[in-house]
Amino acid sequence: ENGYNLWLRYKPVNSTSLKTEYRSYLNQIYFPSESDRLKAALDELNLGLNGLIGIKPQLLVRAQGSSVIATSNKIGALKKWVPDSVLKKIGNDGFVIKTINQAGRNVLLVTANSDLGILYGTFYLLKLMQTGKTLSGLDVVEYPRTMVRVLDHWDNPNRTVERGYAGFSIWNWHKLPGYIDSRYIDYARANASVGINGSVLNNVNASIQMLTPAYLVKIKALADAFRPYGIRVYLSVKFDSPIELGGLKTADPLDPEVIKWWKIKTDEIYSYIPDFGGFLVKANSEGQPGPQTYGRSHADGANMLGNALAPHHGIVMWRAFVYDDKVPDDRAKQAYNEFKPLDGQFNANVIIQVKSGPIDFQPREAFHPLFGALPNTSVMLELQLTQEYLGFSTHLVYEAPLFKECMDADTYRQGKNSTVARILEGVYNPKLITGMAGVANIGTDVNWCGHPFAQANWYAFGRLAWNPQASAAAIADDWLRMTFSSEKVFIDPMKREMLQSRENTVNYMTPLGLHHIMGASGHYGPGPWTDNMGRADWTAVYYHKADTAGIGFDRTKSGSNALGQYSPEVQAYFGNLNTCPDEYLLWFHHLSWQYKMRSGKTLWEEMVHHYYAGADSVKKMQQTWNSLRPYVDQERFSEVQQLMAVQYEEAIRWRNSCVLYFQTFSRQPIPVGYDRPEHDLAYYRSLRYPNVPGQGVN
């Protein structure tokens, strides 16, 4: 196995009793499939059942037999089992799966309001069988808690991928529109299986080429291929397109010519793609043009595009990832400062896309202060699946715990328990659009994501966008069963490793709240010494602020007071050294090397301890993996084994580099009991990574 089939492998069910049960339900089914979407669902069911239990079900012409899979207007007498209140609750995308005992006979019912709901319900049913669940006594009511569930591809027209570590872009622009690679269909299947309903095809550092007719026909071809799977396409657009593409003198969002240009361009896009999703915009950030270039606000810019999209029901996803080194303030504060005053000024079809933390997808950040601070504005969460700051596709890092840490954070903006997740679900303002975006980790590698375990991050993103309350452990459990094996002796230890993997990486990279100390530009290995990047906020020293007195970024009142952007409860929690968790210590505080930690160790000793524990835990993970050889196919076993060996080497390198570098400030010995680094600091500083993939703008 090479990993191509992701979590949709449909391997034969081992248990005889389950096999018998599944067959008894699914031998004969009523599954009307007059639309492309329903055909896609039925094809998937056939594929799955063939693999899982070796049958091709007989299709009935009426709502009878032991399985009925149809929209609620086609289920005849079974309708009485599905109250209108439930149908209302599941909305357009949800579904119901119920085992009904009717006149002594069990009937499996999958129903929904729409064909899309049936597609999602079919994937759910297949998941139940893939994970070895009984189909008896089911009473499932599922519906997504967010509306816009999109992957953001940072793919360029030349097929390079910014921060992409899985080969080249899967969009073969040259062969489109004539050639539809079967990979596009498998991509759409995988997305639909977890409820992802949109795909932003190109990099936020956008090329204007995407808006040219030559590309629009290609984009239309992708949109047509994805449509049966409920996936809409979106485009990242460059704010200056009216100048660069349209030949206008300005891109001022209030200029009538500019307004007209975008309206005509938008209408043109919809003439190709009637269900086009809308635009994603990175404006006035990292050199990208934006409305501020013309003295206008983010709201002016976003609303202008929103007006062009509104007649077609499209949306604007406007990114809050803005910072400017000309602003003489903590980078962590800038997005809040720019967006908070604009609350309530955005059009109804504009949603602000906010990264999990205020810096940039670090292994650990405090949650972004904009969550909860914009009660009258639609806000979506942007997560990064591609492991830009997490060891690329060589390190095994299951990101769901990182995502959950942000989503479970309590903003206190609407009282206790107003978590980021609840804000994302639109609990506090039902008028708003809701959504989640994941920066994709997908490329041309045969296993899609570069590392066999990186697929889990794509999977987990979809599951969490569907239900932000889902647990990282339950998602890992399902993914492992479907991707590798359902054997308990495999699942238990490997799930533990997955759940621990992010913390391991934090430990050997950025423990105790450290951040942004990776190698310059490439963002792969350690670079705590980086101090010369042309602008301070791209260096490492800006963030760790180590000196002989201590280390850490003081974001309390005595420092940048970024903490002041949170609710009073959160300020009190992080601001007080008695309550601030160790994990966030140096994110918010600058402390002396002698500072006494809860463990009784000094800060220096504690830091060293974390670096060593992080590297050791990778060794332990290798041992676990080696012990699981009997449960994994040879090819993937060996791939993961090799990658873990690289990860271990890298973890040691991170550890030694950081410990030796910070030691130049702490002037303390490495405590006894820890191995001495093999080389001196000069050696680690001299190391280079040639040909780092996925280079970006900074």
Q: Point out which residues bind ligand BDP (CB under 6 A).
A: 162-163, 204-205, 282, 286, 321, 360-361, 388, 696-698
**Residue 68: in which H helix or E strand, if any?**
strand 67-71
Cα dihedral 256, 257, 262, 267, rounded to 10, equals 100
Q: What would the two tokens of residue 6 be?
A: 């992701």
Contacts of 659 (CB under 8 A, 6+ apart): 607, 608, 611, 670, 677
From the candidates 155, 162, 330, 388, which is the catalytic residue? 388
**Upper half-sphere CA count for residue 625 (Cβ side, 13 Å):** 24
Neighbours of 50 (CB within 10 A): 14
Minimal distance, residue 698 CB to ligand BDP, in Å: 5
Minimal distance, residue 358 CB to ligand BDP, in Å: 13
Which CB sits closer to ligand BDP, 100 or 697?
A: 697
Minimal distance, residue 696 CB to ligand BDP, in Å: 2
Contacts of 559 (CB under 8 A, 6+ apart): 330, 553, 590
The secondary structure of residue 597, as a DSSP letter, is P
Minimal distance, residue 650 CB to ligand BDP, in Å: 19
DSSP H helical ranges for 284-372: 298-309, 331-339
Minimal distance, residue 192 CB to ligand BDP, in Å: 26
Minimal distance, residue 520 CB to ligand BDP, in Å: 11
Which CB sits closer to ligand BDP, 286 or 324?
A: 286
- Cα–Cα distances (Å) from 360 to 382, 390, 398, in that order, read 10, 12, 18
Which CB sits closer to ligand BDP, 390 or 480?
A: 390
Which CB sits closer to ligand BDP, 127 or 333?
A: 333
Q: How many angstroms separate the CA atoms of 639 and 238, rounded? A: 39
Q: How many angstroms separate the CA atoms of 633 and 653, rounded? A: 30
Minimal distance, residue 565 CB to ligand BDP, in Å: 20
Separate counts of helices (H) and strands (E) for the chain: 21, 16
Which CB sits closer to ligand BDP, 293 or 698?
A: 698
Which CB sits closer to ligand BDP, 198 or 230?
A: 198
- Residue 360 designated active-site: yes
Q: What would the two tokens of residue 67 be?
A: 């399985």
Strands lying side by side in the sheet with 95-102: 58-60, 28-30, 67-71, 105-112, 95-102, 139-142
Nearest Cα to Cα of residue 128 among 29, 49, 221, 61: 49
- Cα–Cα distances (Å) from 79 to 96, 98, 439, 605, 611, in that order, read 11, 11, 40, 65, 59
Beta-ladder partners of 110:
69, 97
Which CB sits closer to ligand BDP, 32 or 358?
A: 358
From the candidates 44, 360, 445, 554, which is the catalytic residue? 360
Are 321 and 282 a contacting pair, CB within 8 Å? yes
Burial of 58 (0-12, 13-18, 19+ CB in 10 A): exposed
Which CB sits closer to ligand BDP, 326 or 488?
A: 326
Minimal distance, residue 394 CB to ligand BDP, in Å: 18
From the candidates 181, 186, 244, 286, which is the catalytic residue? 286
Q: How many angstroms separate the CA atoms of 551 and 566, rounded? A: 23
Active site residues: 286, 360, 388
